[in-house]
Homo-oligomer: A and B are copies of this chain.
């Protein structure tokens, strides 16, 4: 008799991520996993992007935080469908949390789903959610050494956003050096320089995102 070798249970997260992906694909939704340090500006970046896509693409948001619903409130004020996940102590969103959230969002009326991960440059890099696009945001006040210190997240992302470029004159940030390290880790990555405060650079990012969403 042929012995079935079942998948290792360590891939339970991946199995659920694959289910999420199927569900998203069935509904024609492109999911974007937004990762960054605490305070790098994930929510402001999502808000700017949503504003820019208004009238062009329909969006929804999943907010991930250890605690609070501060970010979800900001999205809700814009009239955008949003679910807040509080992970308790978990340092990353996980696929099963996304699975539960998808049932609570109007997927038929969504073209792009932004998933704001927990503020953390480590844990989210190794947790598949079922997303189509991975984005990591690094902000200029954090310094230019983040890709060297947290290489996996920068190596795995499809796009890297350098945020808070409006603060560049007030902080030491070597943009060329930063890009060089990122491209060494991830030769296919696309890098955008933006300010989620002033809106600078958001148009170029939205152009890339829209093209990418149509392909996925």
Contact = CB atoms under 8 A, between A and B. Distances in A.
Interface of A: 37-40, 65-68, 70, 89, 91, 118-123, 126, 139, 141-143, 145-146, 148-152, 164, 166-167, 170-171
B120 A66 contact: no
Nearest to A150: B66
Nearest to A153: B66
Given A39-B141, A65-B149, A67-B148, 8 more contacts: A37-B142, A39-B142, A67-B150, A70-B148, A89-B122, A91-B123, A141-B141, A167-B167
Contact of A167 (B38, B121, B148, B171): B171
Contact of A122 (B118, B126, B150, B167): B118
Contacts of A166: 170
A122 B89 CA distance: 7
Closest A-B pairs by Cβ, 5 of them = A39-B142, A141-B141, A91-B122, A37-B38, A68-B148
Contacts of A146: 38-39
A167 B149 contact: no
B39 A143 contact: yes
A97 to B, nearest CB: 15
Contacts of A119: 37, 121, 149-150
Contacts of A65: 149
A149 B67 contact: yes
Contacts of A148: 67-68, 70
A122 B87 CA distance: 11
Contacts of A142: 37-40, 141
Contact of A37 (B37, B70, B164): B37
A167 B140 CA distance: 12
Given A119-B121, A122-B89, A70 B149 contact: yes
A150 B65 CA distance: 8
A152 B39 contact: no
A30 B20 CA distance: 49
Contacts of A164: 141
